[in-house]
Amino acid sequence: MLSLPKMLRGLLYGAARLPYWRVKRLYTEAPSLQWKWYDYFLRRGSLTAYGKYVGLQKNMSYEVFQRKIPIVPYENIYPWIERALKGEPNTLWQGRIRWFAKSSGTTNDRSKFIPISEESLRYNHFRAAREMFATYLTNYKGETHLLEGKIVSIGGSHQISHLGGHARHGDLSAVLLANMPYFYRYFRAPSLKIALLPHWEEKLPLMAEALLRDRFKIVGLAGVPTWTVLLFEELLRRTQAEDILKVFPFFEVFFHGAVSFTPYEKLFRQYLPSPSVRYVEVYNASEGFFAFQDQKEEKDMLLMADHGVFYEFIPFSDWERGNWEAIPLEGVRAGETYALVVTTTGGLYRYLIGDTVRFVSTQPYRLRIVGRTRHYINAFGEELMIEQAEKALETACSATGAQVRDFTVAPIYMGSEKKAAHQWLIEFSRPPFSIAKFREVLDETLRQLNSDYDAKREADLALGMPEIIVLPEGTFYQWLKSKQKLGGQNKVPRLSNDRVYADEILDMAFPSD
């Protein structure tokens, strides 16, 4: 730990808390701040090739904007992104975009390249990060030593784009680390040289060695739970310690995102067995830093309404019916689920990001991520959302003493001798004392949470009991490795409407002779 004189410590923490005034504005002024950004996008976007193509104009009313500018998924805007990747200026944003986040929102073979402009970094990612830390320091004033140590950040890698020598692409974490203001590098570990290594299996042991040399300076970690577990296991293996607090005695906070923390929560409380360790959820996607947990005791996340993003929302029930009519922020209602649409300073206009969110409150605007527009199972009319699956999994684990390392769910299609069902492929860090009991509780909880699932399960007529497949340790790791998806924000798909992922994983776990 750093040892700072009292006066210097006060100045440092006071300066770091200053951006909190911007957070307080979000509590009362979010809609008006959004319309400020709407006007900004009209002015800047109307000068781009894409803006001219779709008819974006200065002073365009929102009603005309809704009617004239299309809502697009990635496939529709990719030809314009490809032009920007090749170095064409003023395509999606004014000037030439030099950085692209290689997104792995799914583990499809085809990656997505999300443009990140200088304004994206300045107004969105870094501004939101400063305000998140300012909020944390304000919430725990007098109870934190965050600025007296280092935060571990598990970066991905970046490389010269194959489409043009001017451009670089990589995991979002790598892009942010590579562009991080120099001052902040004093407060993070390990070195950028290690953090940006391209191969996870090379990086993991080097990262562990470097962190052990700094073990008394580590106060927190920011990363994806999946890869953090691998780092923790490597550290425990090397030190033979009982838990991570024996390795990092001053550890106080884990900033996490990219996947739901629910399946990992109990496991992390074993790694970090102290009630004083804090957990802060962050909604930081490749397309933008959208929200973070701003309250001490609540997991809801505050929407970043003044951070270079204009938000729109499609009611999920409308989206399912093919009605893509979006509404602005002031039109949302608490308790409803929406597909998220964003316009960003990276040059994405009315982009359907693929996430679904539910607002917990509108004064201020706080939300939770509840799933993906393409990340749910509706193979038999059951409409099972990821939020429900994770809650049922948590309940089954609690009832049977189990802990899950990773999982995915796929449909089992009805055949001549078998019923339709859901197949759960699970890698346990601690198996349940009874798989039969685990399956029973999982099914019962799903029926309680989802009326459509319950109706399909009635008398086993349309949907049979879930099937549980216990995978050997390391299966998901090896599958991601085979896809060249180790590290960064890569993750196992949770729910699928087909069996593509499940069959690949099963073939790897149980190869036929």
Whole-number pLDDT of residue 163: 63
pTM of the model: 0.81
The yes-or-no verdict on residue 52 having pLDDT over 70 is yes
Residue 434 lies in a domain: yes
Strand partners, 312: 328, 341
Residue 70 lies in a domain: no
Whole-number pLDDT of residue 416: 44
Q: Would you list the DSSP string of 179-198?
A: H--GGGGGGEES-HHHHT-S
pLDDT band at 320 (very low <50, low <70, confident <90, very high): confident
Are 284 and 418 in the same domain? no
Q: Smallest Cα–Cα separation from 443: which of 407, 392, 497, 383?
A: 392
The yes-or-no verdict on residue 409 having pLDDT over 70 is yes
Are 281 and 397 in the same domain? no
Are 406 and 285 in the same domain? no
What b/e readout covers 296-323, taking b as 16+ CB neighbours within 10 angstroms?
A: eeeebbbbbbbbbbbbbbbbbeebeeee
Widest distance between CA atoms in the chain:
77
Final residue in a domain of this structure, among 293, 316, 343: 293
Residue 474 lies in a domain: yes
Are 267 and 401 in the same domain? no
Backbone angles phi, psi at 267, to 5 degrees: -65, -45
Whole-number pLDDT of residue 488: 66
The yes-or-no verdict on residue 415 having pLDDT over 60 is no
Residue 250 lies in a domain: yes
Q: Would you list the DSSP string of 289-327?
A: EEEEE-SSS---EEE-TTSSEEEEEEEHHHHHTT----E
For 447, the token pair is 């029926």
The yes-or-no verdict on residue 230 having pLDDT over 90 is no
The yes-or-no verdict on residue 364 having pLDDT over 90 is yes
Are 138 and 244 in the same domain? yes
All residues at 6 or more sequence positions from 82 whose CB lies less than 8 Å from its CB, including other chains: 163
Pick from 163-167, 211-215, 344-348, 496-500: least confident: 163-167
Domain span holding position 273: 6-21+119-293
Ramachandran region, residue 154 (left: φ > 0; alpha: ψ -120 to 50; beta: rest)? beta
Query: Which CATH number belongs to the domain containing residue 479 in this structure?
Result: 3.30.300
Q: Is 255 helix (H, G, I), strand (E, B) or coil?
A: strand
How many whole angstroms separate alpha carbon 149 and alpha carbon 215? 10
Residue 147 lies in a domain: yes
Are 146 and 14 in the same domain? yes
The yes-or-no verdict on residue 109 having pLDDT over 80 is no
The yes-or-no verdict on residue 456 having pLDDT over 90 is no
Q: Is 5 helix (H, G, I), strand (E, B) or coil?
A: coil
How many whole angstroms separate alpha carbon 442 and alpha carbon 436? 10
Report cis status (omega within 30 of 0) of the bond before 364: yes
> Mean pLDDT over all residues of the chain?
89
Are 159 and 278 in the same domain? yes
Residue 316 lies in a domain: no
Residue 197 lies in a domain: yes
Are 154 and 16 in the same domain? yes
Q: How far is CA 292 from CA 129, 152, 300, 507, in A?
A: 9, 18, 8, 39
Our count of domains for the chain comes to 2
Final residue in a domain of this structure, among 293, 324, 350: 293
Q: Which residue has the tokens 């085809």?
A: 110
- Angle at which helix 20-45 crosses helix 126-139, to 10 degrees, equals 160
Judge whether 109 and 268 are in contact, CB under 8 Å: no
Whole-number pLDDT of residue 165: 73
Q: Would you list the DSSP string of 112-164?
A: EEEEE-HHIIIIIIHHHHHHHHHHHHHHTTTT--GGGSEEEE----EEE-TT-
Final residue in a domain of this structure, among 260, 293, 326: 293
For 462, the token pair is 């349309």
How many whole angstroms separate alpha carbon 245 and alpha carbon 275? 12
For 28, the token pair is 């009362």
Q: Smallest Cα–Cα separation from 359: which of 339, 383, 382?
A: 339
Once rounded to an integer, what is the mean pLDDT over residues 173-200? 85
Q: Is 87 helix (H, G, I), strand (E, B) or coil?
A: coil
Once rounded to an integer, what is the mean pLDDT over residues 162-186? 81
Are 281 and 390 in the same domain? no
The yes-or-no verdict on residue 159 having pLDDT over 80 is no
* Gyration radius from the chain CA atoms: 23
Are 149 and 278 in the same domain? yes
Are 405 and 289 in the same domain? no
pLDDT band at 202 (very low <50, low <70, confident <90, very high): confident
DSSP assignment, residue 505?
Answer: H
262 vs 178 pLDDT, higher one:
178
How big is the CA angle at 183 (ends 287 and 27), to the nearest 5 degrees?
A: 50
Are 282 and 137 in the same domain? yes
Q: Residue 367: in which H helix or E strand, if any?
A: strand 365-372
Residue 269 lies in a domain: yes
Q: Smallest Cα–Cα separation from 176: which of 192, 199, 198, 160?
A: 192
For 243, the token pair is 């838990």
Q: Smallest Cα–Cα separation from 427: which of 471, 492, 395?
A: 471
pLDDT band at 312 (very low <50, low <70, confident <90, very high): very high
